[in-house]
Structure 1
Amino acid sequence: MRIIIYTGKGGVGKTSIAAATAIRLAQQGSRTLVMSTDAAHSLSDVLNLPLGPDPVEAAPLLWAQEIDSMQETERNWGAVQSWLTQFMNWAKLNDVSTEEMLVFPGMEELFCLLQIKKQADSGRFDTLIVDCAPTGETLRLLSYPNVLNWWLEKIFPYERRLVKVMRPVAKLVTGGLELPSDETMNSIERFIHDLEDLQGVLLDPEVTSVRIVLNPEKMVISEARRSFTYLNLFGFHTDAIIVNRVLPDEAGEGFMAQWKELHRRYEQEIEDCFSPLPILRVPLMPGEVIGLEALGQIAGEAFRSVQAGGILHSGRTETIRKDGETYTLELSLPFIRKDEVQLTQLGDELTVHVGPHKRKVHLPRSLMGRPIEGARFNDDTLLIRFGERQ
């Protein structure tokens, strides 16, 4: 199984690149599914084919799918929704539009991501190409399992025991409200375990790669740099940068001359920022990129010298090195200054705060009980030094 996730700032053309990659792999004999988890689906528009919530055959060895968030919510959250409806009725909130209140913000997108695990486990496909939501939304969703797993381990067992003890008397005390049933609690636990399993697949560099799509423009490059930092923070493997809609040489005269010069300058900046990642270029096409034939041309340009489904770059974002009696944890965090990072250690957990994001690193046995003695940056790598075990 091979999973390739495409993300990037909205409007850079990641859906076209994802679809083109899928077409290329299908033509090479790989059973390929391209799936859209973005709430604003455009995959059917790019392929010029009607798509639905289940895989639809688009060409030989090629299937496409636009995931229905409402359907996935019902499948994964139905039991919880049923109890929440009872709660709303008990609280006499029937006049409020309960449908919007029964699913918490971001949950529908998470249910869509679980389709990745479902299709990976099905055995029907060799490769999954995932057209994700714009960068900010993608990063928020990919970090959820880390937080929910902590809640499942630290808080949920106590809540579950409390509900079990209080259930017999709660209906009398509250005047009719029933506490969540075992089925409801099981549904929550199953959902979080599924997310944990999904994260395990997505963090495996032998299976999953993230590719960032960008245009040679200042704001887009800045967004891509932040994305690359946070992907490294959460341990995801980025194996390529795809520069889309680069002005071709013949567009360098007259009105487009200044744009051509800007693109040339920003292309060099992209090389400087993201080296040694492979930089794949796709020129601005002379017409709209719609349909299998046009997407095939895009694939020919992007993967002219590399395998579309291959692991295009290998590199670890987290390593542990021993120096005498001390250990050093190395985290790859490009484009970040030391004063932008905050570290918090509690037991076997190290929390790394970078800007608006934070990641909980579960320390291995070799680092448990060892205090942090210092931290420094070296070549875009955060070096955290641990002292002797207390």
Structure 2
Amino acid sequence: MSLILTFLGATSTHRIKIAVTAAKLLSGQGKRVLLAGNVEPTMSMLLNFSVGCDPQEIAINLHVVYLQASVLLERSWNDIKQLESEYLKTPLLKEVYGQELAVLPGMDSALALNAIRQYDESGNYDVIIYCGYGDSRTIRMFGMPDFISWYWRRFHQLFVNSDIGKILTEAPIIQTLINNLFNFNWMDNNFVHPIDQTISFLEKGKEAVADPKRVVAFLVSTPEILELAACRYLWGSSQQINLTVGGLILVTSGNMDAKNMIPGEFSPLAVSVFPDRSTSDWQILMDSLPDFEAQALEAPKPIEINVCERKVSLFLPGFEKKQIKLTQHGPEVTVEAGDQRRNISLPSSLIGRSVTGAKFQHNYLIISF
């Protein structure tokens, strides 16, 4: 399994430069590194190398790849057609080709996440550095396994319990029609298998994002007040998807004592200073980077559950109490902060209990049951 590392912040040039520097540093330490980006042409210019859509080795232990959405879509579409041909005697999509398909809004993030999953499962890399948009789109991308699995659990059960669901799953005549029309057995276990496999992927993705040893983000900012505010917002939004933020990397020019310029709202994050220097000074840039893995383990946990005290504590920096909305519908407890909405999975001992109180204290939303 790989450590998946990404960077969040308002200025793409700084983020990409830090991602490239991190790739050089970690590969120089003997780790097998894949630098994967979907932001061009900055990465190619910094590397002085034309990055392609397949991993290419540009130095010892260092590979780079461009996650081009149209290419990823074409490859994924071919996989779908192959899967369809295995389960349907008369495939429906055989006349539709990947080269014809347009990339819908949001699809590029899903394709990039799936590519990262595949590279992770290949076992070829110790570290995968994702150099993406670095804003709410990246956060939503890493939150996809949780979002999609929730939609699947919720709407699948609603469909099964609905009248039409009962008709489709119980009525022999409907099953017969489907078997004759599509040449497969509606109730056949082999047909359900790809769905089960997808659910397994989603659960593994959720576990990885919640594990600071597997996925971690670092904030990147200058001392400029607007950039710092954007980073605080991204920090809080990351907690909503259970993504650990390991620290803040402050890009500065000159010899200013940048750490003393950081407001207390970023406590207890560790702050590193990254000099805004030419890429001819790669060694100086590498020496300024933090220990990513160590800081990830020391960072505040996005969620803590105390079963004995019947309390759930959510770490939500960057938000005020008036920006947070808490609702409960049956077994689901939903927390809305900014443009992120989180459905909390409660342990069995708390399922069925109603929320008895909630308070916002020291950047934590503390929910009592």
Kindly state the Cα deviation for residue 236 of structure 1 after the two structures are TM-superposed.
0.8
Which residue pairs with 1:130 in the alignment? 130
Residue 318 (structure 1) aligned to one of 292, 295, 303: 303
Pairwise CA distance, 1:213:
1.1
Q: Is 1:248 the equivalent of 2:235? A: no
Q: 2:285 is matched with which residue?
A: 298
Higher alpha-carbon deviation: 17-26 or 313-322: 313-322
Task: Provide the C-alpha distance between the structure 2 equivalents of 1:79 and 1:220, rounded to a whole number of angstroms.
Answer: 41
* Alignment TM-score, normalising by the size of structure 2: 0.81
Shift of the 4–106 alpha-carbon distance from structure 1 to 2, 3 Å rule, reads: same
Secondary structure, in 3 states, of the residue corresponding to 1:13? helix
CA distance in 1, matches of 2:168, 2:50: 46
Separation in 1, partners of 2:55, 2:6: 17
- C-alpha change, 1:284 and 1:342, in structure 2 (3 Å) is same
Q: Equivalents in 1 of 2:52, 2:129: separation in Å?
A: 16
Give the structure 2 partner of residue 57 of structure 1: 57
- Cross-structure match for 1:68: 68
Partner of 1:200: 207
Alignment of 1:358-369 (within 5 A): 358-369=341-352
**Deviates most, 22-31 or 40-49:** 40-49
Q: Between 4-13 and 110-119, report the one with greater CA deviation.
A: 4-13
Instruction: Look up the SS of the partner of 2:226 in the other structure.
Output: helix
Q: 1:167 to 1:98 in 2, by over 3 A?
A: farther
Q: Are the structure 2 counterparts of residues 11 and 39 from structure 1 closer, same or farther at C-alpha, using a change threshold of 3 Å? A: closer
Other structure's SS at 2:12 match:
coil
Partner of 2:46: 46
What SS does the corresponding residue of 1:150 show, helix, strand or coil? helix
Distance 1:81 1:235, change over 3 A: same
Q: Which amino acid aligns with 2:34?
A: L
Among candidates 340, 361, 367, match of residue 378 of structure 1: 361
Q: SS in structure 1 opposite 2:365?
A: strand
C-alpha contact 2:237 2:338 (8 A) present in aligned 1: no
After superposition, give the CA deviation of every residue in 1:271-292 in whole Å (9 maximum; x if it has no partner).
522122111111221x4x3xxx
Contact 1:333 1:381 in 2 (8 A): yes
Match of 1:332 among 309, 315, 320: 315
Is contact 1:334-1:380 (8 Å) kept? yes
Once the two structures are TM-superposed, the CA of residue 148 in structure 1 deviates from its matched residue by 0.9
What corresponds to 1:278 in structure 2?
Answer: 270
Matched residue type, 1:9: A
Change in 2 beyond 3 A, CA 1:190/1:10? farther
CA distance in 2: counterparts of 1:178 and 1:222, whole angstroms: 57
> Alpha carbons of 1:167 and 1:35: their partners in 2 closer, same or farther (altered >3 Å)?
farther
1:99 corresponds to which of 79, 98, 101: 101
Deviation at 1:124? Answer: 1.4
Listed as ranges, the gaps of 5+ residues in structure 2 are 85-90
The aligned amino acid for 1:58 is: I
TM-score using structure 1 length: 0.77
Matching residue of 1:148 = 148
CA contact (8 A) 2:8 2:234 kept: no
Distance in 2 of aligned mates of 1:64 and 1:332: 34
Residue 81 (structure 1) shift: 8.1
Q: Which amino acid aligns with 2:101?
A: E
Q: Could you tell me how far apart the structure 2 residues matched to 1:40 and 1:349 are? A: 41
Matches of 2:358 and 2:144 in 1, distance apart?
Answer: 26
Structure-2 separation of matches of 1:55 and 1:43: 14
Counterpart Cα distance in 1 of 2:10 and 2:214: 24
Equivalent-residue separation in structure 2 for 1:98 and 1:349 (angstroms): 41
CA distance in 1, matches of 2:12, 2:236: 21
Q: Which residue is equivalent to 1:255? A: none
Show the counterpart of 1:219.
226
Amino acid at match of 2:306: R
Alignment RMSD, CA only? Answer: 3.5
2: CA distance between counterparts of 1:369 and 1:42?
Answer: 51
Q: CA deviation at 1:111?
A: 1.2
Question: Which residue is equivalent to 1:24?
Answer: 25
